[in-house]
Every structure is written in C-alpha cells, then in structure tokens.
Amino acid sequence: MDVVTRLQLHNIKPSVQRIAIMQYLMDHHTHPTADEIYTALSPSIPTLSKTTVYNTLKLLSEHGAAQTLTIDERNTCYDANTAAHGHFLCKRCGKIYDLSTAEAPVQSQFMEGHNVHEIHYYYKGICKHCLEEERLYITKNN
Amino acid sequence: MDVVTRLQLHNIKPSVQRIAIMQYLMDHHTHPTADEIYTALSPSIPTLSKTTVYNTLKLLSEHGAAQTLTIDERNTCYDANTAAHGHFLCKRCGKIYDLSTAEAPVQSQFMEGHNVHEIHYYYKGICKHCLEEERLYITKNN
DNA sequence: GTACGTGCAAAGAATTTGCAGATAA
DNA sequence: TTATCTGCAAATTCTTTGCACGTAC
C-alpha cells in the first residue's frame, strides 16, 4: 500500500516528516527505535528533529498505523506490522525477529473478565545466527 | 518456601536488604517497580538506598529468582513468580494482573531456529474493575 | 487567519556508574 | 584480611514539555 494512503486511512495528515517516518517503518522490518529512525532520516531531512520523530511515532501508534514494542528494557521500538505477531529478542546481538503468527496464543476479545485491546507476546534467548557463530567458534577451537 | 532458602537456591547471599526485597516480591503479587519497593521498605530499613534496590532486583532477575516485566513503557516491574504466565495491563488504572497459564502459547526450547530462554506474553486493555465502574457510571447517568 | 505541524532547548524521569565506607566469612 | 555489599552523589539515557516560529488550506 501507498504510504500517503496508509496515513490517510488512519486519519493522519501526510506531512513530509510523517511520510518519511512511515515509509521507513514500512521499508525496514528491523523494529527501529526513535533514535535509529532519526539517525537514518537526518541526512535526507536535515531539519528533522528528534521531537518530531517521537511525536510522529506516538501519533502512528495511537492511530493504529504502527505498533509499539516494549520488549527491550532500554528503548521503545516500532513496527509497521500492526497484526498480532510474536517477536524474538536475541540477548546476544540485540536484534528483534518477527515470528510467524502460527505461534500466537488463542485470541479473544475478553480474557478473565478483562477487555483486551492489544496482544503482545515475545521470547528472549539466543538467535539462530548467534548460535551458528558460537558453533563455528567451538568447532574451530577443538 | 522460605526466603533465605530461595535466595540460596539461586546462589544469592542473603543480606538483610536482599531478604527484605525478595520477601516483598513473594508477599505482594502487585508487580512492583523498583521505586515502589523502595518506598515500601524504606520505613523499616531507613538506610536502604534505591541503588541497592536496583542492584538487588537485577541480581534476582539474573539468577532466576524473579522475573523482569517490560509491559509498562515507563517502568520496569518485577514478579516473584518465575513460571511462564501471562499478564494483563489495564490502560486505565495501570494495574497489572496475572493470567492463568491456560492462556499460554505452546512452549518449546527452539522456535524458528532460535534458542528460547524466556517466554513473555501480555495483553493490554481495560480491566474488569474499570469496566464495572464504567458500567455503573452509565447506569447512573441514564 | 486560524489551526496544525515542527524543532529547539530545557525539563523530567528512570536507571546506572564511580567510588568510599561498612560489613561479613 | 579480603572480598563482597551498600549507599550517596553524579552522570547517563530516553522521552516529554513549553514555547515560538512556519506552513497550509
């Protein structure tokens, strides 16, 4: 879908900054932080301020155009994929991976009497790439 | 289980402060923040410092004697229940509720090639008590 | 021209770090 | 004694706020 259309569908006026940030999220499925987005876009939009990145990410999240991830204790991350899907955080390299929805717990609007709006689930451990590196290291040194 | 025993089982030396903090977590299933624990224990241990609370919570978490919750974007919360169980955060009152393990997604040590150490899943919405209050309010005003 | 959007600088909040004194095996 | 633990103060990091200027319709 077109970026501008997507913003409009969520009742967000498409400014240059908002388009750039939404576009970045749609292009990069790396679950970036506000700072990463700012650093990436700063060269092409020199006047961009971090405040605007924070404002825009909050706006996108509130209007359902992006998802806020609170996996990492340090930073809040953002994801253009707003469908309920799991995440895996590697404790070694810090990368966040998407997990297929197959792993999702059963969804329901009500749970033990509470009205559920958002579903988040994630796992932490060592990712397959770090496991592979470790395996190579062990092989090499034995 | 006894607090001291629990600490020792996780290879943590039981100091006065550590016992008090572990005890607090075991007694209060309110998923407190470092600050809440500090405020609660400060009167009985006047020399207690926030640094020690932070240090201890980190230690408990690293040694598997407590679980770190990153549901709330603002503060890190802690839970003495280290078994995989879900949480529900009420967006209105801010309370965190435990969910029965029945709602848990299927567990496995490996997932899409990644080695899973921790499983976290949580939901956000309006809790049953806030729903009830809202219902009473509507009834009263119509 | 009026409402909205942007960005600087400052404030705020949560957590960490450096270090010196206290404590315990 | 010797390593570990504690706690104050300062630093750090992430995020929000206040406010004035710009921009768009």
Estimate in Å the CA A33 to C1' C1 gap, whole number: 38
Between CA A64 and CA B77 the distance in angstroms is 26
Q: Which of residues 95-114 of A touch B (CB under 8 A)?
A: 97, 99-100, 103-106, 111-114
pLDDT at B107: 62
CA B4 vs. chain centroid, Å, equals: 20
pLDDT at B103: 55
pLDDT at A77: 96
DSSP B65: S
Verify whether the Cβ–Cβ distance B123 to A120 is below 8 Å.
yes
pLDDT < 70 positions in chain A: 101-107, 140-142
Which amino acid is located at A64 in the chain?
A: G
Between CA A124 and CA A62 the distance in angstroms is 26
State mean pLDDT over B16-35: 97
B63 has pLDDT over 60: yes
pLDDT at A104: 55
- Cβ atoms of A89 and A124 within 8 Å: the answer is yes
pLDDT at B16: 97
pLDDT at B85: 87
Between CA A62 and CA A141 the distance in angstroms is 51
B134 has pLDDT over 90: no
B78 has pLDDT over 60: yes
Question: Can you list the positions of beta strands (E) in chain A?
Answer: 67-69, 77-79, 87-90, 96-98, 110-111, 114-126
Tens-place pLDDT, residues B41-62: 999 999 999 999 999 999 999 9
Verify whether the Cβ–Cβ distance A112 to B97 is below 8 Å.
yes
